[in-house]
Amino acid sequence: MLNPPSVSPRSRIRRIAVLAVVASTLLASSMHAKDPKASPAKPADNPLLSESALPYQLPPFDKIKNEHFTPAFTEALAEQLNEMDAIANDPEPASFENTLVPMERSGQKLTRVNNIFGNLAGAHTNPELQKIETAMAPKLAAHQDAIYLNGKLFARVQALYDKRDELPDAESKYLLDRYYKDFVRAGAKLSEPDKKKLKVMNAELASLETKFSQDVLKEKNAASVLVDKREDLAGMADNEIAASAEAAKAEKKAGKFLIPMQNTSGQPALASLRNRPLRERIMKASLARNSHGGEFDTRETVKKIARLRAERAALLGYENHAAYQLDDQTAKDIGTVNKLLGELAPPAVANAKKEAADLQAMIDTEGGNFPLESWDWSFYSEKVLKERYAFDESQVRPYFEMNRVINDGVFFAAGQLYGLTFKERKDLPVYQEDVRVFEVFDADGRPLALFLLDYYARPSKRGGAWMNEYVSQSGLFGNKPVVANHLNIPKPPAGEPTLLTFDEVTTAFHEFGHALHGMFSNVKYPRFAGTNVPRDFVEFPSQVNEMWAVWPEVLKNYAKHYQTGESMPAELLEKLMSSRKFDQGFKTTEYLAATLLDQAWHQLKPAEVPKDVLAFEAQALKTAGVDFPPVPPRYRTAYFSHAFAGGYSAGYYSYIWSEVLDADTVKWIKENGGLKRENGDRFRQTLLSRGGSEDALQQFKNFTGGEPDIAPLLERRGLDQTSPPDAPGDIPPEKPQTGG
């Protein structure tokens, strides 16, 4: 997943209000813990207020402290407002050079503070950063309104837009089009009384979204399941049990075992635990998060957010929030999204029910006197998988040692496709000891980017997997990118290797696809840099990059036993590939259920927002035909951070929408020779380097030479009813990799 990209000049105005809302977690980090005796930092002592002197402008993490952020925000916000006021009050007639270019140049200090704060709040937070986040959210919303609702500023943009055909080049015209649409969508054409209403709504929404995000993450930690006896963990691998013991010890529960919650409804431990009552306890705890009363219950917050979003959409002239959001995406309208989801849901649920019958047969064969429940699915799915394919995940993990996956897999594929080389830099500061830094060099040997790799889970880090940017590429400023990938792999005890699941391997390739999108950016204006593309397009390049995880030449290079160095046996590889066809009904249904919930909430008008959140959720799933209890939604409403805090509101469909483009692109690459420089260079030139500087679907067409075709996706997921699921080497994305 991508940390929510800035899809407008709000990258310099609001990015903190988006990134930090998604990112917060409850527990403290000793590195950034505030010294109560420390005095407020003076501007001269504040490393955030000046450009970093480190290579690529890497933030000086070793010098940044909590107390630097508030004064830095204060100064940066005031500075950008002054810059915008100067543009708005320029006595000269509006021109591209005296209006849009200065707007692109504005807010450099705020961008720097936003990026650093938002990224640290996600990757290494503490209570002090959360307090700053809560205080800043409404201020950032007000700051955005002060710019986009500035009548004089919009008048200059309008004047330029009225004579846009006079601009000399396509990128400049597109920049003007985007600015004009951003202003209009932000309310620039509203009356003054309506602008005042909008400002109040935006400030309240910013605070509510922050509260939702923080409550979800606090509950995720609080809902961890404590187990008294090791024998209750029968079925879990020794290293997983050791990690649970370490987690309990960290919570001052030495001698016990703590099973932490992941963001999703399903929990990893459910696949291996033989203790059915414990499985039930874990799943019920997961599904009840944020909706069982108590201080972290989000149901009232959900209703307020849904109502305010619907009211804001109506004020801006849209039928509902979904219509407002989709107007600026490649899908364009509600009808298109509803049609796609409506076509996918019935065959997905039908497949899930067939899979459920197989699992129930396994239960009955073993003498289990119970019907299949949601807490049984993963456990018996693993059993059926093992019986059908003589395969289980533990067989392949010894061949997926983390360093080898990174260097001989992820980096190797990038070298073969794009000619990239990587050099680890241990001389540069990081924000946490497990973070690694790599300098990336282009095919001609020239420096391209700095890449931060942060793979291990920790209490101060939010869940999921994501990419973000500390510095975005820009021809206007001459900036080279600094990008980061984050995963949440349990750290093994000291001295033991980090062995990945195949899902974690695929996630590493996925997130690096986002990183490539940022590193290859080659645009003039910051507004278009890297992943600044529509939300329903941003996952497309990263999903394409997943194909290299199973490309024979790549897999052979990294899938080697961590002890012997021997390559994965052909027989085991065949089992792995065959097994990836399994359980697609479950995976598609749980994702679609969450997606349909997202749309249900955001296609409401203000008066339609329900009083009972859980009753509405149940009815929405039933109406959509995805109310199948053994397969709960990947996210239930009360902990659905994507929809209510994370920038994916009415946009969670983006993963499946992007997968249409991904599957079509993978087919093209295979038909044109696969892993070769010509294909990599073409993908880079026509798409990865373009950022948001031209229409997203046009970029897709420039690469493939044609319109998107849904057939490869239907075949991949086994939903075409005629073809088998994926062929080896064409693995569909697993459950969407998320951060909330």
- Taking the C-alpha atoms of residue 592 and residue 634, their distance in angstroms, rounded to an integer, is 8
Distance of CA 173 to the CA centre of its chain: 30
How many CB atoms are located within 10 Å of the residue 667 CB? Answer: 18
Look at residue 565 and give its three-state secondary structure. Answer: coil
How many CB atoms are located within 10 Å of the residue 230 CB? Answer: 14
List C-alpha distances in Å: 714 to 389, 470, 657, 720. Answer: 23, 37, 12, 5
∠ CA 356-359-362, nearest 5°, is: 155
Look at residue 482 and give its three-state secondary structure. Answer: strand
Instruction: List CB contacts of 721: < 8 A, sequence separation 6 or more.
Output: 347
Residue 466's beta-bridge partner residues?
A: 486
Classify the C-alpha dihedral 14-686-659-602 as positive or negative. Answer: positive
539 within 8 A of 658, measured Cβ to Cβ: yes
376 within 8 A of 279, measured Cβ to Cβ: yes
- Taking the C-alpha atoms of residue 502 and residue 252, their distance in angstroms, rounded to an integer, is 32
Q: Of the candidates 514, 740, 548, which has an alpha carbon nearest to the alpha carbon of residue 644?
A: 740
- The identity of residue 620, as a single letter, is A
Look at residue 659 and give its three-state secondary structure. Answer: helix
Distance of CA 16 to the CA centre of its chain: 15
Instruction: List CB contacts of 97: < 8 A, sequence separation 6 or more.
Output: none
Instruction: List CB contacts of 128: < 8 A, sequence separation 6 or more.
Output: 32, 33, 34, 66
- Taking the C-alpha atoms of residue 632 and residue 646, their distance in angstroms, rounded to an integer, is 21
Edge-to-edge order in the sheet of strand 421-424: 421-424, 436-441, 447-456, 482-489, 466-471
Task: Take residue 180 and report the two structure tokens written for it.
Answer: 């004009």
Pairing of strands 447-456, 482-489: parallel
How many CB atoms are located within 10 Å of the residue 523 CB? Answer: 23
Distance of CA 112 to the CA centre of its chain: 21
Residue 424's beta-bridge partner residues?
A: 438
359 within 8 A of 385, measured Cβ to Cβ: no
Q: Of the candidates 71, 535, 610, 524, which has an alpha carbon nearest to the alpha carbon of residue 307?
A: 610
List C-alpha distances in Å: 94 to 91, 156, 157, 168, 258. Answer: 9, 5, 8, 16, 62
Q: Which helix (H) or strand (E) holds 471?
A: strand 466-471
- Taking the C-alpha atoms of residue 547 and residue 538, their distance in angstroms, rounded to an integer, is 17
How many CB atoms are located within 10 Å of the residue 37 CB? Answer: 5
The active-site residue, picked from 511, 617, 659, 734, is 511
- Taking the C-alpha atoms of residue 535 and residue 656, their distance in angstroms, rounded to an integer, is 12
Instruction: List CB contacts of 566: < 8 A, sequence separation 6 or more.
Output: 560
Q: Is 469 a catalytic residue?
A: no
Instruction: List CB contacts of 386: < 8 A, sequence separation 6 or more.
Output: 392
∠ CA 540-22-601, nearest 5°, is: 80
- Taking the C-alpha atoms of residue 303 and residue 609, their distance in angstroms, rounded to an integer, is 7
Residue 111's beta-bridge partner residues?
A: none
Task: Take residue 233 and report the two structure tokens written for it.
Answer: 């963990």
- Taking the C-alpha atoms of residue 592 and residue 630, their distance in angstroms, rounded to an integer, is 14
- Taking the C-alpha atoms of residue 602 and residue 708, their distance in angstroms, rounded to an integer, is 26
Active site (catalytic) residues: 511
